[in-house]
């Protein structure tokens, strides 16, 4: 029995030695530095960049190359087009010119892009257009329950 006890002690001592050799000890200054790095405020991506990011799950379409003189014509047409009026925003849908739209829907020459709480961005080849709700108006509030 003495041999097994000695073997256990040798094994435990070897394990302790190997563990201490391979363990990494950090000084308090290093730990403090690591914590301060974690606490630093990180800046995220802007909504404009996020909106213009390509979907990685869709096949990339060939980019349309539009000559500069044709771009000017497209911009002139965009200025002379229909006036769009945003009347309401509810559940990621917008009510524009008496019709409901969601992200990706087509509205004239535009596609509905990003929808926020108070505005919507319409995108087209000629440029983007932002429609906003008027201040303190057109917010739809739903009550939690029926009140008498």
State the pLDDT confidence band at 28, using cuts at 50, 70 and 90.
confident
Does residue 139 lie within any of the structural domains?
A: no
132: tokens are: 């906003």
Domain count for the chain: 1
Q: Is residue 92 part of a domain?
A: yes
**69 lies in which domain range?**
47-132
Q: Is residue 145 part of a domain?
A: no
pLDDT per residue over 74-130, tens digit each?
666 655 567 888 989 988 899 998 999 999 999 888 899 999 988 999 998 878 889
| pTM across the whole model | 0.39
> In 3D, which of 136, 134, 142, 133 has the Cα closest to residue 89?
133
From CA 139, how far away is CA 89, in angstroms rounded?
7
Q: What is the spatial distance between Cα 123 and Cα 78, in angstroms, rounded to a whole number? A: 11
Average the pLDDT over 7-32 and give the result.
80
Q: Residue 40 domain-assigned? A: no
Query: What are the start-end ranges of the E strands in the chain?
Result: 86-90, 93-96, 99-102, 106-107, 110-115, 119-123, 129-132
């Amino acid at each position: 029995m003495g041999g097994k006890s000695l073997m256990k002690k040798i094994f435990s001592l070897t394990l302790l030695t190997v563990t201490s050799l391979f363990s990494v000890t950090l000084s308090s200054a290093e730990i403090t530095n690591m914590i301060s790095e974690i606490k630093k405020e990180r800046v995220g991506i802007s909504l404009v960049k996020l909106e213009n990011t390509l979907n990685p799950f869709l096949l990339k379409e060939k980019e349309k190359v539009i000559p500069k003189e044709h771009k000017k014509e497209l911009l002139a047409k965009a200025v002379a087009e229909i006036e769009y009026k945003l009347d309401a925003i509810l559940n990621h849908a917008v009510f524009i010119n008496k019709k409901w739209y969601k992200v990706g829907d087509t509205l004239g020459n535009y596609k509905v892009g990003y929808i926020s709480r108070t505005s919507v961005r319409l995108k087209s080849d000629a440029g983007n257009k932002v429609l906003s709700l008027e201040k303190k108006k057109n917010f739809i509030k739903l009550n939690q329950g029926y009140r008498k």
